[in-house]
Structures are given as structure tokens and as C-alpha cells.
């Protein structure tokens, strides 16, 4: 669980910014969204395969851009 200790003389806004950054680094929101919806095993597999294809396309595109 992310938490931030507010230092003496620190504004609430800066503490809130640090808290948001910490939450993002720990990927808490991503985990919550992932568990908020039930996916059937087949759907989960299809999504995983689609993401793998997307990563591969991106990697190949980057490699082709570096060749030129």
C-alpha cells in the first residue's frame, strides 16, 4: 500500500504529487483495473496473444527504423 509522510513545512500539494507518483510506480491502479472485471480463460488467452503480437510489431518496427 502506498503512503507518504508529510514533512514539516511541506505543502499538501507537493505531498499529493509524491503520493500520485508512488501509486503510479507501484502500479496499484493498473492492478485494480485488472481485477475489476472477470475474464474467461479463453478471453484472457486471446488478450495475452494479442498483446504479444502488438509488442512484436512494435519491436520489429523499431528495428527497421534503426537500420536506415
Q: Which three cell numbers stand for residue 53?
A: 503480437
Boundaries of every domain in the chain: 1-37, 38-68
Mean pLDDT over 5-30 rounds to 92
Which residues fall within 8 angstroms of residue 29, CB to CB, at 6 or more apart?
Answer: 23
- The predicted-structure confidence for 41-59, as pLDDT tens digits, reads as follows 999 999 999 999 999 999 9
- The pLDDT value recorded for residue 59 is 94
Unique residue bearing C-alpha cell 474467461? 40
- The predicted-structure confidence for 18-43, as pLDDT tens digits, reads as follows 999 999 999 988 888 888 999 999 99
- The pLDDT value recorded for residue 65 is 84
First vs last Cα of the chain: how many Å apart?
46
Q: What is the pTM of this model?
A: 0.50
- The pLDDT value recorded for residue 68 is 64
Amino acid at each position: 500500500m502506498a503512503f507518504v509522510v508529510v514533512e514539516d513545512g511541506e505543502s499538501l500539494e507537493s505531498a499529493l504529487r509524491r503520493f500520485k507518483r508512488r501509486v503510479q510506480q507501484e502500479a496499484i491502479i493498473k492492478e485494480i483495473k485488472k481485477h475489476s472485471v472477470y475474464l474467461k480463460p479463453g478471453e484472457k488467452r486471446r488478450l495475452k496473444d494479442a498483446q504479444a503480437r502488438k509488442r512484436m510489431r512494435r519491436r520489429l518496427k523499431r528495428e527497421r527504423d534503426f537500420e536506415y
